[in-house]
Amino acid sequence: MDMDDAYGSNTTTPNEFEEGNSFSVERLRMSLAAMIIIDKLPFCYVEREGFLEFMATVEPRFPIPDHVTVAKDCIKLYLREKEELKQMLAGRRVCLTTDRWTSLQNLDYLCLTAHFIDSDWNHQKKILNLCLVPNHKGETIGKVVESCLLEWGIDKIFTVTVDNSSSNDVTIDYLRRKGKDSEGSILSREFLHMRSYTKVLNLIVQEGLEDLSESIDKIRNAVRYVQSSSTGSEKFKACVEKEKILCETLVCLDLPTRWNFTYMMLDRAEKFENAFERMKEDDVEYLRQFDDDDGNGIKAIGPPNHFDWEKVRAFTKLLKVFYGVILRFSGSSFVTFNAYFQELVVIQHYLRSLCDSGDDPLLREMAESMKRKYDKYWGRVDKINLMLFVAVVLDPQYKFKYIKFWFKNLYDGEQADDMIAKVRDALDRLFDHYATRASSRGVNEQPSDMLHSSLSMFNTERQDSWMMLYEQHLAEENSIEGKSELDHYLSDGNEPIVENFDILSWWKVNSSKYPILGQIAQDVLPIPVSTVASEFAFSVGIMSCIILRVHLRQKSLRPLFVHKIG
């Protein structure tokens, strides 16, 4: 059916407004299409009796389109949103996250998400594509990503955050090889490869989980019994009351493939150790589950004993630090990159203190195992993307002094000096690259011009002659001293360290003072430390509508929707 047929015999055309009324068929149809997408409704919803009666009451002048026309309107809305997003991305540098997923039908999907800071210094996250891919080979993924970027007109990418699979190494090599000589390339895409640090944390935690697998299985089976039937649940609650355990929440079962769920299960369960011990006396069915096999000769391991609870109690104390870090850096709607180094420092310092402690041999043994895995990935600076440290320098609360302090405290003298030198070299080369690019566009990095730009905000019609003389004096003085904008920034005092410091607001105010560093901050700070933004897409549900639905939730189709940043 042609889209125009949906208007039927109604004399009001889609773009026609009645005198003194905001009624518009076009607006209502686009609003209806958006509702179908956002609420994940079937297209035939518009033909159901209840909806037809409701619309007849609300707006009898609106000719209800059939399901075919609604489907066409959804496509039209998608294309409109896509064009608006394409204009927003035009000429902008982005950081990417990508993740892959295989469906129950054995179909391979890839999601590509762009992260950037817009001209108003707001953090933006936009899903660019969710598509079928022929296979999960590295070069295949690289070609799909390249094709998607060409479709969106994106030729400036800074980093691509991926998990630690070997095929992703091939993907990054392909993208680096194809774009290292492009005009928008930063230092030949040297820093393109950003590993998902939350995935690395997962690997470190899994190292500890392996050592406790038997005790964890025992507790998991005990919790499963409590939650498997109402009888088991009631008897457990009775045991909790007898033991006078005061806790707002009861036990919960985990997902064995997600350690953070396992942590929540263990953290809750260990508080009810006495209740589970009483279950051995008060509930014969509780013990019987560990004697019966599953039909294949396999018995459920358990019940947990006192030693199991002691091990789990020690491990949850260790996991609590990692769990907090994962929660903080799984966020994808705000900037996290500048704070990640601090979290790595906390984890390393914590593991080291446990390894050196003799108070709890069991906890020390676990920490030593996890520390070995930590050192494998983060033991040396050459194993970490140096932009992680540049982001710390761009945080005015810390700058370069913080990095030097911690390197000297965490590593031996020669190793610390080597790491400090590598970070400073990367920072200088990055600054020189941006300064050269700014110079080619006629942007002067001298503080006199920065001051002039700031003053022009307040006095756009004329410039005081005395101030012009002072600016000239500053330019000459700084030229003699040979100080660059980077030198001025590093030598200026640090901002006080406060909780929830808004780094984007700070750079929005100070980018006129440090224009080149402001450009670097705008490109570096949105780098994601995890692939959560892309992973989330696979749990949303309707693949065919996901891109449009996310876009509609992220921005409004004024005046039809309430503005909301996703």
**In this predicted model, what pLDDT tens digit does every residue of 104-125 receive, in sequence order?**
788 888 899 999 999 999 999 9
- Which band of pLDDT confidence, cut at 50, 70 and 90, is reported for residue 466? low
Q: Which residues contact 484 (CB under 8 A, 6 or more apart)?
A: 431, 435, 445
Give the separation between CA 195 and CA 187, rounded to whole angstroms: 19
- pTM of the predicted protein model: 0.75
471 vs 72 pLDDT, higher one: 72
Give the separation between CA 108 and CA 132, rounded to whole angstroms: 6
Instruction: Note the pLDDT of residue 444.
Output: 44
Across 286-315, average pLDDT:
81
Specify the CATH architecture of the domain 92-196+530-548. Answer: 2-Layer Sandwich (3.30)
Give the separation between CA 447 and CA 85, rounded to whole angstroms: 35
Encoding tokens for residue 451?
């001051």
> Bridge-partner residues for 129, per DSSP?
112
Is 374 in contact with 148 (CB distance < 8 Å)? no
pLDDT at residue 251 greater than cutoff 60 = yes
Domain ranges for the chain: 25-79, 92-196+530-548, 199-379
Instruction: Note the pLDDT of residue 565.
Output: 28
pLDDT tens-digit map of 71-87: 999 999 999 999 999 99
- Which band of pLDDT confidence, cut at 50, 70 and 90, is reported for residue 88? very high
pLDDT tens-digit map of 350-364: 888 888 876 778 788
Kindly report the backbone phi and psi dihedral angles of residue 109, in degrees, each rounded to the nearest multiple of 5, phi listed first.
Answer: -120, 150
- The DSSP 8-state label assigned to residue 129 in this structure reads E
Phi-psi region of 500 (alpha: psi -120 to 50; beta: other; left: phi over 0): left
pLDDT tens-digit map of 188-245: 999 999 988 778 888 888 887 887 888 999 999 999 999 888 888 999 999 999 999 9
557 vs 322 pLDDT, higher one: 322
Across 177-181, average pLDDT:
89
- Which band of pLDDT confidence, cut at 50, 70 and 90, is reported for residue 341? confident
Query: HSE of 63 in the Cβ direction (CA atoms, 13 Å)?
Result: 17
Mean of pLDDT over the chain: 80
- Which band of pLDDT confidence, cut at 50, 70 and 90, is reported for residue 35? very high
Give the separation between CA 319 and CA 322, rounded to whole angstroms: 5
Which long-range contacts (C-beta less than 8 Å, at least 24 apart) are formed by 555-563?
555/84, 557/30, 557/31, 557/34, 557/77, 560/27, 560/30, 560/31, 560/34, 561/34
Comparing 5-14, 152-161, 388-397, the range with the smallest average pLDDT is 5-14
pLDDT at residue 442 greater than cutoff 60 = no
Instruction: Note the pLDDT of residue 467.
Output: 54
439 vs 488 pLDDT, higher one: 488
pLDDT at residue 496 greater than cutoff 80 = yes
53 vs 136 pLDDT, higher one: 53
The winner for highest mean pLDDT among 53-62, 210-219, 249-258, 471-480 is 53-62
What percent helix, strand, coil does the chain show, rounded to 5? 60, 5, 30
517 vs 553 pLDDT, higher one: 517
pLDDT at residue 566 greater than cutoff 70 = no
- The DSSP 8-state label assigned to residue 555 in this structure reads S
From residue 237, alpha-carbon distances to 264, 265, 279, 479 in Å are 19, 17, 10, 76
183 vs 174 pLDDT, higher one: 174
Within 10 angstroms of residue 473's Cβ, the number of other Cβ atoms is 11
Is 162 in contact with 171 (CB distance < 8 Å)? yes
From residue 492, alpha-carbon distances to 56, 324, 371, 398, 485 in Å are 67, 33, 37, 11, 11
Give the separation between CA 77 and CA 547, rounded to whole angstroms: 11
Across 371-392, average pLDDT:
84
pLDDT at residue 334 greater than cutoff 60 = no
What is the bridge-based pairing of β-strands 193-195 and 123-133? unpaired
Across 295-301, average pLDDT:
71
pLDDT tens-digit map of 157-170: 999 999 888 889 99
What secondary structure, in 3-state letters, does 258-303 show? CHHHHHHHHHHHHHHHHHHHHHHHHCHHHHHCCCCECCCCCECCCC
Share of residues in the chain with pLDDT > 70 (%): 80
